[in-house]
Amino acid sequence: MIDIKSLENEDFQKAYRTSLKNRGGEVQLVDRILELNKSRKQALHEFESRKAEQNKVGQEIAKMKRSGADASDLLNEMQALAQKTKDFESQAAEVQEKLNYLLSSIPNLCHSSVPVGKSEEDNVLVRSQGVKMEFSFQPKEHIELGEKSGLLDFERAGKVAGARFSYLRGALAQMERALGQFMLESHIEKNGYEELIPPYIVNSASLFGTGNFPKFRDDVFHLEGTDYHLIPTAEVPLTNFFAGETLKEEDLPQKFVALTPCFRSEAGSYGKDTKGLIRQHQFHKAEMMIFSHPDQSYDLHDQLTHHAEMILQDLELPYRVMALCTGDISFGAAKCYDIEVWLPGQNAYREISSCSNFEDFQARRANIRFKESAPKSKPRFVHTLNGSGLAVGRTLIAVMENYQQEDGSILVPKALQKYMGGKTKI
């Protein structure tokens, strides 16, 4: 969430207007917010003035009553003042609510290093890693590989749940489970993350804290008649772990990882990737989360991205890292790298992880601060970072397509074999 005090600063406001324009946002919203803030201040001033006047009249009434004088005229005046005070208080609260809504609906300020662009076509290649597999045959997509082997069943899932669900069977189910376990152990043992098993159902306040609400409410599955919602990503419960708390400077950074199911309505996908495992309503993902001192967050952002890359390197899957441009970066991120894995069956790179630095955007919404060790220092907002490490289903797709054999079998990457009872092929 953008701080209204920062937005009143001319230099910040100029930078924010440029960032919002580059994101393709409505720059006039800044003017609307500043107008509402001015109205809020005026209403508060009127309320405080009437309140002070009301207190003064109250003292006069008390003095007259002690002396036995008739205070009926002042009592009438007090009643009128009380109503005016109440009216201005209500006006200030109404304007504040409108202001909060607009502030919660505008995106983060992009970091100065984010490339300017309109769409994913303008994202910038940072690096590529690995060698693409060479096949003596035409490689197949994961859908054909899975359905032909009988290990991937969309038809029965459609009968049970509907479109964009699947059954994984036998060795393919085992491989998905192995991937999740491999990711967790890598992040815990190699990269120093603490594992959490969080709630898979959260309240609206938690979704507001991460920036999902109010703007992206339609992307979330809701439990009717309650204030409960299925998590679209473990980012939500992980980010809100410290909601409303003040940490100690010496306890930063805090690093967590969680392997959870994720549930997304895909309300805004408009028919994109409707087939296969790419864009499902339900999938598993290993999520990395870091709470950082502001001075360390960009170094940690690079580390976080590297930790996600390590999974692909260990699986020997070719990939590339892209710096997202202003027109493609997510609502809450100040800077983001997408990691895209090579899928030979599709002859394309596809996103498998987004690693973002939100700076204090989420921490301000969720009220997560830290207290510096210096004497008399005021609490500051932490920086939050997260990234997929990785999306399990998409990693499964990558293994299927990159390790496929001409007979339709799939080799098991060396890094996974110990998690699959020594299997070398499925």
Residue-wise pLDDT tens digits, 317-333: 999 999 999 999 999 99
pLDDT in tens, 337-351: 999 999 999 999 999
Phi-psi label, residue 324: left if phi above 0, alpha if psi -120 to 50, beta otherwise: beta
| Tokens 């992880």 sit on residue | 353
Per-residue confidence (pLDDT) for residue 269, from 0 to 100: 55
Residue scoring higher pLDDT (318 or 71):
318
The yes-or-no verdict on residue 252 having pLDDT over 80 is yes
pTM: 0.92
Which amino acids are annotated catalytic?
A: 264, 279, 351, 354, 394
pLDDT in tens, 127-169: 999 999 999 999 999 999 999 999 999 999 999 999 999 999 9
Structure token digits, residue 257: 């990882």
SS (HEC) of 69-134: CCCHHHHHHHHHHHHHHHHHHHHHHHHHHHHHHHHHHCCCCCCCCCCCCCCHHHCEEEEEECCCCC
Catalogue all structural domains in the chain, each as residue range(s) with its CATH number: 4-105 (1.10.287.40), 120-420 (3.30.930.10)
The yes-or-no verdict on residue 274 having pLDDT over 90 is no
Residue scoring higher pLDDT (81 or 369):
369
CA–CA separation, 74 and 288 (whole Å)? 64
Mean pLDDT on 293-305: 98
